[in-house]
Amino acid sequence: MKQLDLKAEGLRKINSTLQNAVPDSDGKEWAVTNPMGQHAIACGLNTELSVTIEGNAGFYCAGMNQKADVTIKGHAGVGVAENMMSGMVRVTGNASQSAGATGHGGLLVIEGDASSRCGISMKGIDIVVGGSVGHMSGFMAQVGHMVICGDAGEALGDSIYEAILYVAGDVESLGADCIEKEMTEEHQKTLTELLARAGMDQDVKRFRRYGSARKLYNFNVDHAGEY
């Protein structure tokens, strides 16, 4: 595993090295030491690297990730894995607000808790949270899955489109147009696969499924006065 000391080399050089690394010739496994909570570490990676950040990260860590596997051994600030396209990002601690925002694909795993607006405007990303999430999580989530092994704050799934939310614990309140839906065998199978990919051992029978009532984004002239 190659070591990159952020304190000694600086953020710009660290990111440039990772963004231009060729796995076959430069090596696949990298470690970033002394991250010092700096912002935008390991952003814009587009090759199949395995990057371990040895400590807490600031805002937008692993943003725009594509193909790489990034592990943050600590906590992550606002917008971790923002606009992620593919690959995997794992946070072994907690994540601040807007984790996985606008993500198009890949898997984001947060082993601890996530703050407010987790998964805002999801566009295909899958998110698995080992703990609880804050208010307005899943806001305007379009496509993808969010698995919450703990509790969810108020206004879960507000203005949700076609993303699917699974919650094992209590939900403080549901947002506009978000309702509880039937948990079928197909959904249990999907959930089992997501939990397995995230490396989390959970009883799928504890979870409930939430999604769109499809009344908010389909205009109905008979309900024009409600808009």
pLDDT tens for 122-162 read 999 999 999 999 999 999 999 999 999 999 999 999 999 99
Helix (H, G, I), strand (E, B) or coil at 196: helix
Per the confidence metrics, is the pTM higher than 0.85? yes
Domains along the chain with CATH numbers: 2-215 (2.160.20.60)
Please name the residues in contact with 190: beta carbons below 8 A apart, sequence gap of 6 or more.
145, 164
| 8 Å CB contact between 106 and 124 | no
User: How far apart, in Å, are the Cα atoms of 132 and each of 68, 117, 140?
Assistant: 26, 12, 19
Residue 117 to residues 15, 46, 51, 100, 101, Cα–Cα distance (Å): 27, 26, 26, 9, 8
Q: How confident is the model at residue 218 (pLDDT cuts 50, 70, 90)?
A: low
pLDDT tens per residue, range 201-217: 999 999 999 999 998 86
Distance of CA 41 to the CA centre of its chain: 16
